[in-house]
């Protein structure tokens, strides 16, 4: 008899269990995730065909497999695929990070860019660019900035535990402080030194290379499975700290681990593309409307939806306007009205 057992848990749910782990998944949500993965793959191939040099699907596939001409292989494999994959990975990281922070704070208006995590990563990255002039260690610098900012927010929010509303207020204040420090760095140094940082701060994936994909890919492979493991405790924490403690959940330990995971995912995104605004805010809310509350399957769907949003935003930034724009401009233009809509709905409910 196989050690792996699939149990019927309740209608629409299945549980895979063996001696090392048990995992419950929702068949409907898994189906939605698989469908979104197929849509994302089709959009990626379609995006490769777009540009000054129009290519057919067949030319894209041949060049990707190494059977195209030197010209098409240069366009497809050196210029277009890195940028497209970078958009997808960044969207995935930001969306999952937003889901984690919204779950921790129990508030759909929270995201790493709202409570200062992205600002901390951005300040550290700007400091590294203008002082060290070396982008090879940029992901690590951004991660350190995000973690230090998150630690400061966590400690300042602590009073016999961390209350979500206090965490949000402290985070908003910390975001203002860190953003002011970033502005000071941009003003203090000569324009020749800060110009790359100014362009980077707009949130752009222009000129992405294959080496830029390493950090977000490693973050997804390592951190997302860890986040999935903690999805059940996070889901229980939505009922409040008292209920969670009665279920035997070590709240502060789980919360701290999830904060580190969320910081890591947000930091690598900031390091590669700069602050791409509102993706972490919008996508988790949209995913919950479609697929339901927190779970491992919903997390995967959220990441895929984030990849779709950033990819489509980058396509629009390149081709929908007279000039090419950074992808962060488009996501902010869409996200700011969406944020106001969420705020209006929240006020109506209260």
* R_g (Cα) of the chain, nearest Å: 21
- Tell me, what's the pLDDT at 248? 81
Containing H/E element for 26?
strand 22-26
Please state the pTM of the whole predicted model.
0.87
pLDDT of residue 267: 86
Tokens of 200: 């980077």
CB distance 315 to 327 below 8 Å: no
What does the alpha-carbon distance between residue 205 and residue 282 come to, in Å, rounded to a whole number? 20
pLDDT of residue 19: 62
pLDDT band for 224, please (50, 70, 90 cuts). very high
Range scoring the smallest mean pLDDT among 6-20, 26-40, 61-75, 194-208: 6-20
CATH superfamily of 28-38+91-349: ABC transporter involved in vitamin B12 uptake, BtuC (1.10.3470.10)
pLDDT band at 2 (very low <50, low <70, confident <90, very high): very low
pLDDT at 62: 87
What number is the average pLDDT over the span 259-286?
88
Position with higher pLDDT, 18 vs 260 = 260
State the pLDDT at residue 7.
45
Most confident of 108-112, 121-125, 222-226, 243-247: 222-226
Over residues 159-170, the pLDDT tens digits come to: 766 677 788 888
pLDDT of residue 1: 41
pLDDT tens for 40-58 read: 999 999 999 988 888 888 8
The per-residue pLDDT for 25 is: 66
Asked if pLDDT for residue 132 goes beyond 50, the answer is: yes
What does each C-alpha distance from 163 to 80, 118, 166, 248 come to in angstroms? 45, 21, 5, 19
What is the pLDDT, as a whole number, of residue 216?
A: 92
Of the chain, the percentage scoring pLDDT greater than 90 comes to 24
- Confidence (pLDDT) at 304: 96
Q: In which band, very low, low, confident or very high, does the pLDDT at 8 lie, cut at 50, 70 and 90? A: very low
Nearest CA to 234 among 42, 119, 106? 106
The tens digit of pLDDT for each residue in 316-346 reads 999 888 888 888 889 988 888 887 887 777 6
Which among 41, 13, 28, 23 has a CA at the least distance from the CA of 304? 41
**What DSSP string describes 251-292?**
HHHHHHHHHHHHHHHHHHHHHHH---TTHHHHHHHHHHHHH-
295-324 pLDDT tens trace = 778 899 999 999 999 999 999 999 888 888
Confidence at 22, pLDDT banded by 50, 70, 90: low
């Amino acid at each position: 008899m196989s050690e792996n057992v699939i149990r019927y848990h309740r209608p629409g749910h299945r549980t895979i269990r063996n001696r090392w782990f048990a995992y419950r998944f929702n068949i409907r949500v898994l189906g939605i995730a698989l469908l979104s993965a197929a849509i994302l793959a089709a959009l990626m191939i379609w995006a490769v065909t777009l540009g000054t040099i129009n290519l057919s699907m067949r030319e894209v596939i041949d060049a990707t497999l190494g059977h195209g001409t030197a010209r098409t292989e240069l366009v497809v494999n050196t210029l277009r695929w890195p940028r497209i994959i970078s958009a997808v990975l960044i969207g995935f990281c930001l969306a999952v990070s937003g889901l984690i922070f919204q779950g921790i704070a129990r508030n759909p208006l929270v995201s790493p860019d709202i409570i200062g995590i992205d600002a901390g990563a951005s300040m550290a990255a700007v400091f590294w660019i203008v002082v060290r002039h070396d982008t090879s260690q940029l992901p690590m610098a951004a991660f350190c900035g995000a973690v230090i900012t998150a630690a400061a927010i966590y400690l300042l929010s602590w009073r016999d535990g961390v209350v979500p509303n206090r965490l949000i207020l402290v985070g908003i204040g910390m975001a203002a402080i860190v953003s002011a420090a970033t502005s000071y760095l941009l003003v203090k140094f000569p324009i020749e030194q800060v110009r790359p940082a100014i362009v980077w701060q707009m949130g752009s994936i222009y000129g992405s290379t294959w080496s830029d994909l390493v950090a977000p890919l490693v973050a997804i492979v390592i951190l997302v499975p860890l986040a999935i493991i903690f999805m059940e405790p996070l889901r229980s924490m939505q009922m409040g700290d008292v209920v969670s403690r009665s279920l035997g959940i070590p709240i502060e330990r789980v919360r701290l681990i999830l904060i580190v995971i969320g910081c890591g995912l947000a930091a690598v995104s900031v390091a590669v593309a700069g602050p791409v605004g509102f993706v972490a805010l919008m996508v988790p809310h949209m995913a919950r409307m479609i697929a339901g509350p927190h779970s491992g399957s919903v997390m995967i769907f959220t990441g895929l939806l984030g990849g779709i949003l950033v990819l489509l935003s980058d396509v629009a930034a390149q081709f929908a306007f007279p000039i090419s724009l950074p992808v962060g401009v488009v996501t902010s233009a869409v996200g700011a009205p969406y944020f106001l809509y969420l705020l209006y709905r929240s006020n109506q409910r209260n």
